[in-house]
A and B are shown apart, each in its own frame.
Chain A
Amino acid sequence: MDCNEARQQLDQIRTGEAYDKASRAVVEHLEVCAACREEAAFMGHLAAASPKLILTAPAGLMEEVMIRIADRYDVIDTDFGPAHVGFTPKGISAVKLDVAEDGAFESFYKDRLGRSVVRGSLPETYALAVRRAIRGEKIAQPPVTLEGLTEFEQTVLVHLARIPSGEVRPYAWLAREVGRPKAVRAVGTVMARNPVPFLVPCHRLVPSTGGVGNYYYGPEMKWTLLEREGIPREDLANWKQRGVRYIGSRTTGIYCYPTCRDARRIKREHRLEFSSTEDATNGGCRPCKNCRPLSA
């Protein structure tokens, strides 16, 4: 064992990290080599004195970090005017059209999501997603975060997001989808309080009786959004007026919600119209597996 070899191992022997056959040779070497004993002593001194070198971080570090990790918001222009958009590293947390002042948005955010929000700069991809949703364009995976909402709200909104662009479903349908068929009103409340409208499409939920029903920003905006997604206003009005709730196909024997993509490609001559699921069943049709119409 030479000194060079021994000294490379001294440090780990000192702390007990390594102790094997080679270590025993080092220990034997130490007994005969004064220079290496000195080296070991130096390490010991250094190890004893060093922990005193830990500094205290300057005051204010914690506060600064907490400010810098706060949720952010920015104001962007959209087809519907200026929108306040809140966001976190996880995604967009809030979109709001009807606030005139930043202060109003900040207090809305704190009340709704329980976190404070400070002014920041919205990533371009997020701004684009909001603008596209408002223009009625399809977004494969809306960049939203539902953090801070109740479990029920999260479940409802996650299921809501699965309604394809250009299609609508009744409130009662969503209540059934989330396994709470009687919670139709509760679902309605979740829609009214949806913090990320447009991106999570609460405008695609309508009354079972037809038409578009209520919307946080007024029914006119709901009509517009659905029209932009490709549902003609006349069709919705027409179905409501004539009491058509389902459309079936003579050839496949399947019935759907009228806006279901499968219903839309039924040719005029094969199209059947139903006012209830009993009607449809009596007409020899079974429910579509894509839009899963509610049975009464």
Chain B
Amino acid sequence: MTQEEGRCIALEIHRGNRGAVANLVAAYKDRLFTYAFHMLGGSDDALDVTQEAFVKAYETLSGKYDSERCRTLEIRPWLYRIVRNLALNRLRSRKRMTGAVERMKDDLQEQAFVPQNDQARAIRKALERLGRESRELIILRFIEQYTYADIAAVTGSSESALRGKVYRALRRLRKIMEDDPSGL
């Protein structure tokens, strides 16, 4: 979806077109789900968060934003920000729950979504051992193929800070993968 298409869709949703919501969901559901999945370390909360993000997007575009705001909205980083905030909220409330039950749930989930490719599986396993922030940066940069400017728009870090952060995330990821013989 181009930036222009994104704006049209935002405006259509603002006007109350429910079909435009369906188009938005179709265009972004897999990517946003992937992002939520990795942000949450692979729990079934990812499905909830993705759904909630689309509902929130609909409510905001149709109820809160005026047409001018919708016309100038950069919908892609905006959607990622919604998912990000919802996921971070989940993580915070999850911290308060007992960890053991959650970890068990995560293990069960993993089997359901492991991609079929060996190399991809190795990256995914390594990602799980990465810290939350590093993992997010690797996802946005390499899976979603965001530019540094895009990542800055989603996470709120400056581009120059991101250069260092991405570099450090890569170094950690590489270390994890090299320590594991089934790596790249």
Contacts and interface: CB of A to CB of B under 8 A. Distances in A.
B148 A17 contact: yes
The DSSP consensus for interface residues of chain A is helix
Contacts of A10: 167
Nearest to B64: A89
Contacts of B113: 55
Contacts of B80: none
Interface stretch (A62-70, A129-137, A247-255): A62-70
Q: Which one of A53, A90, A148 has the highest number of Cβ atoms from chain B below 10 Å of its Cβ?
A: A53
Interface string A30-64: 00000000010011011101111111111001101
B25 A61 contact: yes
A61 B50 contact: yes
B30 A66 contact: no
B40 to A, nearest CB: 12
Contacts of A145: 16
Nearest to A65: B54
Given A49-B123, A57-B33, A89 B22 contact: no
Interface in B61-109: 62-64
Contacts of B148: 12, 17
B128 to A, nearest CB: 12
Interface string A87-131: 011100000000000000000000000010000000000000000
B156 interface: no
Contacts, number: 120
B55 A9 contact: no
B174 to A, nearest CB: 5
Given A11-B141, A66-B21, A69-B21, A88 B115 contact: no
Interface residues of B, number: 47
B117 A57 contact: no
A51 B32 CA distance: 14
Interface string A163-179: 00000000000000000
Contacts of A50: 120, 123, 138, 142-143
Interface residues of A, number: 38
Contacts of A64: 51
A47 B184 CA distance: 12
Contacts of A89: 58-59, 62-64
B30 A62 contact: no
A8 interface: yes
B17 to A, nearest CB: 10
A7 interface: yes
B98 to A, nearest CB: 26
A53 B123 contact: yes
A123 B171 CA distance: 50
B120 A49 contact: yes
A147 interface: yes
Contacts of A47: 142, 145
Interface string B146-182: 0110000000000000011011001101100000000
B18 A90 contact: no
Nearest to B160: A8
Given A8-B164, A51-B143, A55-B115, A68 B16 contact: no
B8 interface: no
B115 A15 contact: no
Contacts of B59: 69, 89
A5 B34 CA distance: 31
A17 B63 contact: no
Interface string A1-32: 00000011111100101000000000000000
Interface of A: 7-12, 15, 17, 39, 42-43, 45-47, 49-58, 61-62, 64-66, 68-69, 88-90, 115, 145, 147-148
15 contacts: A11-B170, A12-B163, A46-B142, A50-B138, A50-B142, A53-B124, A62-B22, A62-B26, A65-B21, A88-B62, A88-B63, A89-B58, A90-B62, A145-B16, A148-B16
